[in-house]
Structure 1
Amino acid sequence: MMGLKSILEKHRNNIIAKWFDIVADTYPPDTARFLKSQKDPFANPVGGTTRQSLESVFNELLTDADPARIRDALDPVIRIRAVQTFSPSHATSFVFSLKHLVRELAEKESCEPKDFIEFSLQLDAVSLIAFEIYMTCREKVWQIRATEQRDRTFKAFHRAGLVSEAPEDNPGLYKNSLQ
């Protein structure tokens, strides 16, 4: 009986292609069609980045599943999804879709259940890494938005003569001008 990792290596390209299709299908139909059909990474940077990230994560899972390298592999695709309109669960759920693909293959190839359980636990850890990256990116997006709003408000108040000159990172209102 062949081990799960050997089976995954044997079916590597097919699994990655199916996984990519599942990720692409999380987008609207026109976008999904474009992501799947346009293979040129310069004409389709989202598709190219996603494909590369999925391949790197899968390769890492077949070797030693180093969390730092998995984080590096996931980072580009999660950054893309963090600035789009996906909810946190929707943006990171693609990790679990690999579990379903592997389960189907493991059942078809009559793998040892313990091998699938071990792989499944690795994917759970990968999903937590993906969620952590997503939340870090979203925090940064909200920080940028808050800073832009603060700066916009400061400039409007400054034009109206309601604020003093202050350092860029800490605009100050005149205490007497708003009374």
Structure 2
Amino acid sequence: MDIKFNEILKEKKFDISKRWLEVILASYPNDKSGFLMNQQDRFANPIGYTFSTGIDGIIEVLVKGEDFSESISFLEDIIKVRAIQDFSPAKAMAFIFQLKTIVREALGKEIGQNQIYISLLEFESKIDDLALTAFDIYVKYREQIYELRTDELKRMTFTLLKKANLMSEIPVQEFEHKDQK
């Protein structure tokens, strides 16, 4: 990426971060009071805090041009939150692609310069790579959620059968072990 492009991104980093946070929080229609956006306390608003710090970290990595093929913790923290919520996979992951639009809006007329445009295309390619990494993380956490739900259903079924005297005194671990064979 071009040095001038990096300087422009660094100058506009705060505006980009703020706008990206607004876009992400807009996907939560029940937050009419603006609590997620306005409450900065880490303990009173862990979701808003996670998104805010995560966004800043992700943008920092992208601006510096660092490699994030290894899972970056900032992205993982945001994806953990998105994975447990009642979003379709497309809606849960859309926030990453929205960053492209936000960066283009922030750059405005500067995109018209040939070298800036080429650097923007390189930057957007990094966002695409970020999206692929995020999708891997999302799938990993969704699988964990489904495994937890399945395990809970097994435990509930075992307990109900035991209460109804339809199950002999087999420990729940054996019940689960027999189910896996």
| TM-score normalised by the chain length of structure 2 | 0.86
Unaligned runs of 5+ in 2: 177-181
For residues 62 and 167 of structure 1, the distance between their equivalents in structure 2, rounded to whole angstroms, comes to: 54
State the one-letter code of the partner of 2:79.
I
Range with bigger deviation, 4-13 or 100-109: 100-109
The C-alpha deviation readout for 1:85-117, integer Å capped at 9, x for no partner, is 111111111111111011223342234221011
The C-alpha deviation readout for 1:16-58, integer Å capped at 9, x for no partner, is 0111011110101535711111122221110001100000000
Higher relative helix content = 2
Quote how far apart the aligned CAs of 1:130 are: 1.2
Residue matched to 1:177 = none
Runs of 4 or more, structure 1, over 6 Å off, are none
Aligned partners of 2:16 and 2:106 also within 8 Å: no
Identity of aligned residues (%): 33
Aligned partners of 1:82 and 1:137 also within 8 Å: yes
Quote how far apart the aligned CAs of 1:69 are: 6.0
For residues 3 and 64 of structure 2, the distance between their equivalents in structure 1, rounded to whole angstroms, comes to: 16
The C-alpha deviation readout for 1:151-179, integer Å capped at 9, x for no partner, is 1001111122222333433417xxxxxxx
Aligned residues: 172
Range with bigger deviation, 127-136 or 99-108: 99-108
Equivalent positions of 1:18-37 (< 5 A) are 18-30=19-31, 33-37=34-38
Residue matched to 1:154 = 158
* SS of residue matched to 2:173: coil
* SS of residue matched to 2:27: coil
Equivalent positions of 1:60-99 (< 5 A) are 60-67=61-68, 71-99=72-100
Q: Superposition RMSD on alpha carbons, in Å?
A: 2.0
| TM-score normalised by the chain length of structure 1 | 0.87
Residue matched to 2:119 = 115
Residue matched to 2:179 = none
Ranked by relative contact order (alpha carbons within 8 Å, sequence separation 6 or more), the top structure is: 2
